[in-house]
Amino acid sequence: MRTVLTLAELESHAHDPRSPSARRQRRFLCPLCGNDKPRDSAHRSLSLNTDTGVWICHRCGESGLLGEYWSQPFDHQNLRSQLIGKMAVTSSASHASRTTLDRRFDWRKVWRGSSRLLGTPGAIYLEHRGILTQFAETCGVRFSAAWYGRPAILFPVNNADGNLVAISGRFVDGCRSSKTLSAGRKSLGVFSASDLRTAPIISIVEGPIDALSLALCGMPATAMIGTSWAEWLPASLASKLVYIATDADEPGDEAAGLLRQALLPFACRVLRLRPHVGKDWNDVLVQQGPCALRRLLRDFTVTPAKKGERQMSSLPSNLHISI
């Protein structure tokens, strides 16, 4: 479990009492790097924003939020100003073309160097979207302070064999442009918040946060990372009950119709599950809360153990239901 740092600890006489304090952005000796480095100003590798409590060590790569700041309210609009050091939108690479950036960017290396969500701006962002940090971590979600030079939540995209083929990154620095950016061949895989092989019922959504939203409330879910799907996905869902839970907009509705046609040859029972609040399922979770969404999904979902297979199979396969 990640150590939770506090300002009192960093300023303690046992650690770094001489750190300059009359500034908004301060630097400290990092207590997580060990004691084998000189204790002088040149080795103050931990950078801290005293307005927000966000910190990052440029030596060991650890990052998080000071313990004293955990109870403070979160403002999505000001998240960008909460990020420091490596978390800022900097470097000449950010001005390069996407092609040039992709050529330099080793996404597998960044993934290997990514951290747990706990104590990071990624955890703060997800929890204010209604997603519990521990649950997201069990689904393989991680955090990087340097995804294309910016802080981002990382969602693993796996192929039919469970091998990593891409990463979908969701930036958390508040910048309005390029909110998401993927690397690798995302068209070859999906992000799954549930086990596709064992779940008798599965919902298919567009984005990873929507998959987490439904799975958190009891509905197994997988995300296509957009409105198109991996070629192997329909066959992997053969004979399952599939809820097409794409967004409540024109592209989502169009994708739902095409996906239904792709699923029917594999003896899938297909229903359209369309959000009734906002555009997507995370909107429903945020606006109505997990208890309300869980009740809606429980009442809507019919399984053999609850109401009988015959009742569900009697519904037309092209039924569109909005809850």
CB 72 within 8 A of CB 55: no
Q: What angle do CA 53, 57, 61 make, to 5 degrees?
A: 120
Handedness of CA 318, 223, 177, 69 (dihedral sign): positive
Q: Of the candidates 181, 160, 173, which has an alpha carbon nearest to the alpha carbon of residue 231?
A: 160
Which residues 6+ apart lie within 8 Å of 183 measured at CB?
Answer: 102, 105, 107, 148, 166, 167, 169
The CATH number assigned to the domain holding 137 equals 3.90.980
Q: Do both 199 and 304 map to the same domain?
A: yes
Q: Do both 214 and 179 map to the same domain?
A: no
Spatial strand order of the sheet with 164-171 comes to 142-147, 150-158, 164-171, 180-184
Q: Determine phi and psi for 12, rounding to 5 degrees.
A: -65, 155
Q: Domain ends where: 153, 188, 223? A: 188
Q: Do both 314 and 197 map to the same domain?
A: yes
Predicted confidence at residue 73, as pLDDT, reads 46
The domain of 178 spans: 79-188
Report the distance separating Cα 216 and Cα 93, nearest Å.
Answer: 37
Q: Do both 225 and 276 map to the same domain?
A: yes
Report the distance separating Cα 273 and Cα 209, nearest Å.
Answer: 16
Predicted confidence at residue 100, as pLDDT, reads 43
- Please report whether residue 1 resides in a domain: no
Q: Do both 171 and 209 map to the same domain?
A: no
Q: Do both 164 and 200 map to the same domain?
A: no
Q: Do both 313 and 202 map to the same domain?
A: yes
Q: Could you tell me what percentage of the chain is helix, strand and coil, using 3-state DSSP and rounding each to the nearest 5? A: 35, 20, 45
| Adjacent-strand bridge partners of 150 | 147
Q: Do both 180 and 105 map to the same domain?
A: yes
Q: Domain ends where: 68, 96, 114? A: 68
Report the distance separating Cα 166 and Cα 163, nearest Å.
Answer: 9
| Adjacent-strand bridge partners of 157 | 166
Report the distance separating Cα 155 and Cα 143, nearest Å.
Answer: 9
Q: Do both 31 and 60 map to the same domain?
A: yes
Which residues 6+ apart lie within 8 Å of 16 measured at CB?
Answer: 10, 28, 29, 39, 44
Report the distance separating Cα 247 and Cα 227, nearest Å.
Answer: 9
Predicted confidence at residue 90, as pLDDT, reads 36
Q: Of the candidates 168, 126, 164, 117, which has an alpha carbon nearest to the alpha carbon of residue 145?
A: 117
* pLDDT, tens digit only, all 323 positions of the chain: 445 678 888 888 667 777 877 677 788 888 887 666 777 777 788 888 777 777 777 777 777 777 766 544 444 444 444 443 333 333 333 333 444 445 568 999 999 999 999 999 999 999 999 999 999 999 999 999 989 888 999 999 999 999 999 999 999 987 766 789 999 999 999 999 988 888 889 999 999 999 999 999 999 999 999 999 999 999 999 999 999 999 999 999 999 999 999 999 999 999 999 988 899 999 999 999 999 999 888 876 554 333 333 333 323 333 444 44
Q: Do both 117 and 139 map to the same domain?
A: yes
Q: Do both 89 and 120 map to the same domain?
A: yes
- Please report whether residue 2 resides in a domain: no
